[in-house]
Amino acid sequence: MTYDKEKLLKIVKKTEQPEIACLERLIAIPTCYAKGHDMKPMIAQLTEEFEKREYKVQTFPTSGAPVVVAEMDLGMDKTLLFYNHYDVQPEEPLDEWKSPPFELRSRNGRLYGRGVADDKGPIVANIFGIQAALESDYEPRCNVRFIIEGEEETGCLGIEEFCNANPELLKSDGCVWEGASAVPGQRSELYTGVKGCVYFELRAKGFAVDAHSGDAPIVINPAWRLVWALSTLKNQNEEILIDGYYDDVVPPKKEELQLFQQYPPDAIDPYKQKYKTEKFLLERDGMEFWTELTLRPTCTICGLSSGWTGPEAKTVVPKEAIAEVDFRIVPNQKVERVQKLLREHLDKKGFADIEIKLEEGSYEANKTPFDHPFVKLLASLAKDFSGKNPLIIPSAGGSGPAYLFGKHTPWASCGPVDPECNVHAPNESISITELRYMTALIGATAIELG
Amino acid sequence: MTYDKEKLLKIVKKTEQPEIACLERLIAIPTCYAKGHDMKPMIAQLTEEFEKREYKVQTFPTSGAPVVVAEMDLGMDKTLLFYNHYDVQPEEPLDEWKSPPFELRSRNGRLYGRGVADDKGPIVANIFGIQAALESDYEPRCNVRFIIEGEEETGCLGIEEFCNANPELLKSDGCVWEGASAVPGQRSELYTGVKGCVYFELRAKGFAVDAHSGDAPIVINPAWRLVWALSTLKNQNEEILIDGYYDDVVPPKKEELQLFQQYPPDAIDPYKQKYKTEKFLLERDGMEFWTELTLRPTCTICGLSSGWTGPEAKTVVPKEAIAEVDFRIVPNQKVERVQKLLREHLDKKGFADIEIKLEEGSYEANKTPFDHPFVKLLASLAKDFSGKNPLIIPSAGGSGPAYLFGKHTPWASCGPVDPECNVHAPNESISITELRYMTALIGATAIELG
């Protein structure tokens, strides 16, 4: 290690106000792709932020949101890559926010706003981390490239087109995925893989109109049909009941299970805090907890909608019923096969009438080997900054376009588990301390990669 | 039969303009209880209409809308009772109305306005029918009592209080429920019963917050729990699977089944038109269609709500899931027992975590024997006026406060099926011919009851 942690932290502290101001500018621009927000103001803002720091900026249009690429080519052998996204989740339910979601607000050492943690905070930390490295005695010994897309929360069609068209921009010696951070005294989690995700809308239809429920004995009720169909997909032991679904699932490797065995028992605590619970689904704990969370496929009802659910009674037979269902898949499972098996399953079970719509933006799974040198570098820096060995997790439970990058570059994502972040939920926040350490750690990564 | 149909129709024709003017006055007063409309103007208007025809009028306050009782005591042995309601459904969606909902308009032989069919037209027909009987040679040989409530469309709490407090006012020799009418050449439907209704909100709760669905392997998913729980309530053959649920269900009587056997095959046609379908649930037809529709209990999902169901994907594990479920019950089934059995069932099946809330306004079932003299009278008058034998239906599939009256008086509801009425929908209407025949038929009922 050649970098000076204290010096880096000092530089970062000095630039904290400009960094927060930069984050404030990004938060102020609503960028929910699903809501059709205009992304041009964000592209312009990002371009301005990078150009004033002497990056070469290119915008790649896609059929969806444009991808912004900012490069600082220092003529070095190695390249540090950042993947981030400028889009955010919908801000609803609005009435649960304690401050306006598109205004950065500071309260009790935390910054609040939609996107502060996912993923505008990390963008800003990466930018200011590289600046800190430049300002320190040790110049960054690598070239830097940012790839920032705008459809992460809705399925990443644009980034898929971009990646297919520009594979050379995906090559690097290490890609920091969304963010890398460490907070003193807190154990980081270092992710080196993602599950894939296939998201379906299932729709059952009844007669042409909502009926009076007095006619229930003669009217097809799509809510019942959907409930019956869904109940055939998974049992209460969480076993997915679709024939052949598990056939192409690669079982966990011996090394991965050994890794879990080395986890300290309190590794589970952040989840207990996040969900304010002592017990998890099916009382999963220890090895089973980690294996299911990271290495096994899932089937989840994300939403249900049918008929009347307001206050008071309304006795109707709904004319249609909708379920949103996602399948998190593991390496070797294919999106098309999941869709085919689901259709076959519903047909076989007598639910040929239920329509399946594959929503845009499916992902495959991907893993960088957890003993790759880039992973080791991030792990040792995380330990340096936090004072604790990070938890190396071979795959996130979630998904993302990392699989598109993973074919070309090693990648990892690293940060402390912060149950107060409320990612995807109202009152999303990030601690100012974390933002500072995240920034410094990125500076160190740039210095050390060389 | 002692009345003279042609003479009655002639009298009614003569008073048609005042009758329509009376209806116009009632339509002009908006009376949607759910919208909090002030009911005082309607109470005043009804009082005026009845008092000028020498009825004694009393208004009974309730915790909801007042009940108006108008009595014409002629010192006779028998009493004819009318149940009506002065409240209406919400008028929305407004932009689908071809004329203002609270202005009576005449187009192509029909009268349009919110409430013309349900239930202000029948109120006016009943008033003018009695007047026609008084003006004919045959005086009405019965006393007359109107009971008109103002919460029928929202759950009838007020009428329940009224009925419990004033059982003597419910005694009569026959109660015309909302309306009785017949149109030349059209077969009437004559209902002599209602199912009961118990309406529950079922709520499953997960962890304190919506979770990212990447955490699905460890997070309790209330949408799954609700789906699994609901799927244990009823199978695809429409059999309710709650232990003991059918124990107190009285099987259809031989006479009722014989009644269905006498139905002409086209009795089902109005349902085909209403739902634009040739086939019904489980291809029910003939005897099975009518038995299930009128005499068997049901369990209906009226609504489902959980998590995210907007366009695009949102990969969440919802924090709660809600189902609205109604049970239509038949005579001898009790609201409290249905609630108890449902709770026991969910507990037994491992769903003690699912909360059950009984919504306000449950009904019991009630039937007047379809061979009761009052039913026979209405049936023969319906045939007299329409030229066709009416379809006598031992119970509606729907529910209502008739059960409160049915403990004290025989009752029936009779009218032609008119798909153009648009009851509860925009452009509610009634044909002027039907209004005329409805009025004359009520006059005949008053004359013949004695």
Residue A379, both tokens: 């792990």
Q: Which residues in chain A are closer than 8 Å to B224, comparing Cβ atoms?
A: 230, 234, 300-301
**Residue B300 carries which DSSP code?**
E
HEC secondary structure over A99-147? CCCCCCEEECCEEECCCCCCCHHHHHHHHHHHHHHHHCCCCCCEEEEEE
Least confident of A180-184, A231-235, B46-50, B295-299: A180-184
> For residue B118, is it left (φ>0), alpha (ψ between -120 and 50) or beta?
beta
Is the Cβ of A34 closer than 8 Å to some Cβ of chain B? yes
Is the pLDDT assigned to residue A419 strictly greater than 80? no
Distances (CA, A) of A308 to A320, B93, B201, B404, B435: 11, 16, 11, 27, 34
Residue pairs spanning A and B at CB distance below 8 A: 262
- Closest Cβ opposite residue B217 in set A220, A292, A314: A292
In chain A, residues with a C-beta closer than 8 Å to the C-beta of B362 are none
Closest CA of chain B from A313, distance in Å = 7
What local confidence, expressed as pLDDT, does residue B140 receive? 74
Locate tokens 């609040």: which residue? A112
Q: Residue B176 is encoded by which pair of tokens?
A: 């015309």
Cβ atoms of residues A37 and A31 within 8 Å: yes
A361 touching B, CB under 8 A? yes
Taking only residues 278 to 307 of chain A, the set having a beta carbon closer than 8 angstroms to any beta carbon of chain B reads 280-281, 284, 289, 292-293, 296, 298, 300-307
**Which residues of chain B lie closer than 8 angstroms to A296, CB-CB?**
217
Q: Is A246 on the interface with B (CB under 8 A)?
A: no
Interface mutation vs chain A, best among B195, B200, B213, most A CBs within 10 Å: B213
Q: How many Cα neighbours within 13 Å face the side chain of A107?
A: 11
The upper half-sphere exposure of residue B62, i.e. CA atoms within 13 Å in the direction of its Cβ, equals 22
Task: Please give the single-letter amino acid code of residue A339.
Answer: Q
**Which among A197, A223, A228 has CB closest to B236?**
A228
Chain B residue numbers with beta carbons less than 8 Å from the beta carbon of A304 are 223, 226-227, 304-307, 309, 318, 321
> Residue A346's pLDDT is what?
98
Distance CA A238, CA A227 (A): 16
Give the minimum alpha-carbon distance from B290 to chain A in angstroms, rounded to a whole number: 9
Q: How far is CA B351 from CA B149, B224, B240, B317, in A?
A: 40, 11, 17, 19
* Subunit contact B217:A361, Cβ cutoff 8 A: no
The residues near B239 (Cβ < 8 Å, ≥ 6 apart) are none
Query: What are the 10-residue block averages of pLDDT along chain B, 450 residues in total?
Result: 91 97 98 94 98 98 96 95 96 92 97 96 98 86 95 85 97 95 94 96 92 95 98 98 96 94 93 93 97 97 93 88 97 96 98 95 92 97 96 93 95 88 91 97 93
* Distance of alpha carbon A242 from alpha carbon B293, whole angstroms: 36
Q: Are residues B223 and A271, on separate chains, in Cβ contact within 8 Å?
A: no
Q: How does strand B355-358 pair with strand B196-205? A: antiparallel
pLDDT band at A400 (very low <50, low <70, confident <90, very high): confident
pLDDT tens, position by position, A279-314: 999 999 999 999 999 999 999 999 999 998 877 778
pLDDT mean across residues, chain A: 94
Chain B partners within 8 Å of A231 (Cβ): 227-228, 230-231
The minimum CA-CA distance between A4 and chain B, rounded to whole Å, is 37
Average predicted confidence (pLDDT) for chain B: 95
Q: Do B304 and A306 touch (CB under 8 A)?
A: yes
B80 φ, ψ (degrees, to nearest 5): -100, 130
Would the CB atoms of A422 and B213 count as touching at under 8 Å?
Answer: no
Alpha carbon dihedral B82, B86, B90, B94, in 10-degree steps, equals: 110
Contact (CB, 8 A) for A251 and A331: no
Which pLDDT does position B75 carry in this prediction? Answer: 93
Mean pLDDT to the nearest integer, A66-85: 96
Q: How far apart are CA B359 and CA A275, in angstroms?
A: 31
Map residue B226 onto helix, strand or coil. Answer: helix
Angle at A276 between CA A273 and CA A280, to 5 degrees: 95
Report pLDDT digits (tens) over A305-350: 999 887 777 889 999 999 999 999 999 999 999 999 999 999 999 9
What string of H, E and C letters represents the secondary structure of chain A?
CCCCHHHHHHHHHHCHHHHHHHHHHHHCCCCCHHHCCCCHHHHHHHHHHHHCCCCEEEEECCCCCCEEEEEECCCCCEEEEEEEECCCCCCCCHHHCCCCCCCCEEECCEEECCCCCCCHHHHHHHHHHHHHHHHCCCCCCEEEEEEEECCCCCCCHHHHHHHHHCHHHHCCCEEEEEEECCCCCCCEEEECEEEEEEEEEEEEECCCCCEEHHHCCCCCCHHHHHHHHHHCCECCCCCECCCCCCCCCCCCCHHHHHHHHHCCHHHHHHHHHHCCCCCCHHHCCHHHHHHHHHHCCEEEEEEEEEECCCCCCCCEECCEEEEEEEEEECCCCCHHHHHHHHHHHHHHCCCCCCEEEECCCCECCEECCCCCHHHHHHHHHHHHHHCCCCEEECCCCCECCHHHHHCCCCEEEEEECCHHHCCCCCCCEEEHHHHHHHHHHHHHHHHHHC
**Interface pTM (ipTM) of the complex?**
0.90
Contacts of B303 in chain A (CB under 8 A): 223, 306-309, 314, 316, 318
Reported confidence tier of residue A378, pLDDT bands at 50, 70, 90:
very high
- Residue B248: is it exposed, middle or buried by C-beta count within 10 angstroms (0-12/13-18/19+)? middle
Which run of H or of E encompasses B104?
none
Cβ contact A281–B218 (<8 Å): yes
What are A316's two structure tokens? Answer: 């109707």
How does residue A1 score in pLDDT terms, banded at 50, 70 and 90?
A: confident
| Domains of chain A with CATH codes | 5-194+366-449 (3.40.630.10), 196-249+296-358 (3.30.70.360)
Taking an 8 Å cut-off on Cβ atoms, the answer to whether A306 and B306 are in contact is no
Is the confidence at residue A156, as pLDDT, over 70? no
Q: Is B16 helix (H, G, I), strand (E, B) or coil?
A: helix
Count CB atoms within 10 A of the CB of residue B278.
Answer: 7
- Answer whether 0.90 is exceeded by the pTM: no
Comparing CA positions, the residue from A150, A166, A135, A1 lying closest to residue A71 is A166
**Chain B CB contacts of A197 below 8 Å:** 315
CA A364, CA B139: separation in Å to the nearest integer? 85
pLDDT at B429: 97
For residue B346, the distance in angstroms to the closest alpha carbon of chain A comes to: 14
Cα–Cα dist B73/B397, whole Å = 35
Inter-chain residue contact A218 with B284, CB threshold 8 Å: yes
Distance, in Å, from the CA atom of B229 to the CA atom of B242, rounded to the nearest integer, reads: 11
Token digits for B134? 């008084």
pLDDT at A155 over 70: no
Residues in chain A with CB shorter than 8 Å from the CB of B307 are 301-304, 324
Helix (H) or strand (E) holding B24: helix B16-27
Instruction: Say yes or no to pLDDT of A236 above 80.
Output: yes
pLDDT tens, residue by residue, B241-257: 999 999 999 999 999 99
Q: Is the pLDDT of residue A138 over 90?
A: no
Residue in A205, A213, A330 to test binding to B, most B beta-carbons within 10 Å: A213
How distant, in Å, are the alpha carbons of A354, B64, B175, B194, B366 from that of B405? Answer: 44, 19, 8, 11, 9
Chain A residues near residue B289 by CB distance under 8 angstroms: 217-218
**Looking at chain A, which residue has its C-alpha nearest residue B323?**
A309
Please choose, from the candidates A148, A153, A144, the residue with its C-alpha nearest in 3D space to the C-alpha of residue A174: A144
Does A321 reach chain B within 8 Å, measured CB to CB? Answer: yes
The upper half-sphere exposure of residue A103, i.e. CA atoms within 13 Å in the direction of its Cβ, equals 6
Cβ atoms of residues A70 and A48 within 8 Å = no
Cα B218 to Cα A20: distance, rounded to the nearest angstrom: 35
Per CB-CB distance under 8 Å, the chain A contacts of B227 are 227, 230-231, 301, 304
pLDDT of the residue at B360: 81
Task: Please name the residues between 55 and 114 in chain A that touch chain B, using a CB distance below 8 Å.
Answer: 89-90
Strand (E) positions, B281-405? Answer: 300-307, 316-317, 320-329, 355-358, 366-367, 391-393
